[in-house]
Amino acid sequence: MRATVLVRPKPGILDPQGEAVGSALGHLGFEVQDARVGKVIDLEVDALDAAAAKAAVEQMCEKLLANPLIESYEIEVTA
Amino acid sequence: MASPQPRIGVVTYPGSQDDRDALWALAALDAEAVPVWHGELELPDLDAVVLPGGFSYGDHLRCGAIARFSPATAAVRAFAAGGGFVLGICNGFQILCEAGLLPGALVRNESLRFVCRDVPVTVERDDLPFTTRCTKGRRLVLPVKHGDGRYLPPPDLDPAQIVLRYVDNPNGSVDGIAGICNETGNVMGLMPHPEHAVDPLLGSDDGALLLASLVDAARDRVLAAI
């Protein structure tokens, strides 16, 4: 089963990478109000069903993939 | 009787860089400096432990995120739980935060630039095993060299846990925090490098005050055990 984890800097955490990206887009003529930079982690996991896969990936996020103090995460599971 | 030489371990992870400088500095300050490989399940008989700077596991995912699962880190956690003195320098600080031995997180510098220069810091606590040779308010000049040194404290950080503050914040750390300790004061982390500042030839020997404090504290532990 395929799982995608989106890791984002939490709201309120200063994200200088996002600011740099936003300002670069502004220089290119794009109108961007806000930009935040996170991470995408694609995983192949063995699981009986989507719920089991999501539960396993949630454990992975809590233990390693995200730092709950500074990052939030979102999990998408596709068959 | 000659005063006993305390044994201070320095853990080498894959990608550690300042382990040798830390070993050299501790030996120069009259400790028996003991190299410890990250794969060790148990620490040798030690009176203190230093986690050195560098880029353990290539800083992949987040700085210190992988090193926290090394066998030696588990052993250091047990050592700290028993009241042992643990000092994390730079990447060692990041590892201690990721491992939950210190509160907070270290993230990308606000400037997005790697900073590498000598910076003044102010000592906020002079009663810790890492700072007894300093007096509160004293300025130390120590080198920093990091890309991810912006310290973000948890919302409930006790201000008494702040040990060092930057005079001119080089990385955007909240409240200029350069070094903190745990609630019990036996674990400390700092981004500046005391081990690179132990001789006037290196531009400053202020780092020797911190490391010699640790050597003193470790020696007292040896004496207490006799």
Question: How high is the mean pLDDT of chain B?
Answer: 96
pLDDT at B215: 98
B169 touches B62 (CB < 8 A): no
Contact: A16, B62; criterion CB under 8 Å: no
pLDDT at A6: 98
**What digits encode the pLDDT tens for the residues A17-74?**
999 999 999 999 999 999 999 999 999 999 999 999 999 999 999 999 999 999 999 9
- Tens of pLDDT, residue by residue over B66-84, are 999 999 999 999 999 999 9
Counting the structural domains of chain B, the total is: 1
The CATH number linked to B188 is 3.40.50.880
Q: How far apart, in whole angstroms, are the C-alpha atoms of residue B200 and residue B173?
A: 28
Number of folded domains that form chain A: 1
Give the pLDDT confidence score for residue B2 in this predicted structure: 64
Give residue B3's pLDDT: 79
Distance of alpha carbon A70 from alpha carbon A13, whole angstroms = 7
pLDDT at A55: 97
Structural domain contains residue B2: no
Q: At what angle do helices B19-28 and B207-225 cross, to 10 degrees?
A: 70
Q: Which two tokens stand for residue B49?
A: 């432990």
> What is the pLDDT at residue B26?
98
Which CATH number does the domain housing residue A45 bear?
A: 3.30.1280.10
Average pLDDT of the segment spanning B99-111: 97
Q: Is the confidence at residue A79, as pLDDT, over 80?
A: no
> Residues of chain B with pLDDT > 70: what percent?
99
Pair of tokens at residue B79 = 């050592």
Predicted TM-score (pTM) of this structure? 0.94
Mutate to test the interface with A, among B109, B113, B152, B157 (most CBs of A within 10 A): B152
Backbone φ and ψ for B47, nearest 5 degrees, come out as -105, -10
Query: Is residue A13 less than 8 Å (CB to CB) from chain B?
Result: yes
Q: What is the pLDDT of residue B225?
A: 84
For the segment B40-54, the average pLDDT, to the nearest whole number, is 97
* Domain ranges, residue B25: 7-225
pLDDT on residue B10: 98
Q: Which domain holds residue A48?
A: 2-78
B15 lies in a domain?
yes
For this complex, say whether ipTM is above 0.90. no
CB-CB neighbors (< 8 A) of A69 in chain B: 104-105, 152, 154
| Helical segments of chain B, H only | 19-28, 71-81, 91-98, 207-225
In angstroms, the CA A15 to CA B16 distance is 27
| A67 interfaces chain B, CB cutoff of 8 Å | yes
pLDDT at B110 over 90: yes
- Tokens representing A16 are 């200088």
Token couple for B153? 């404290």
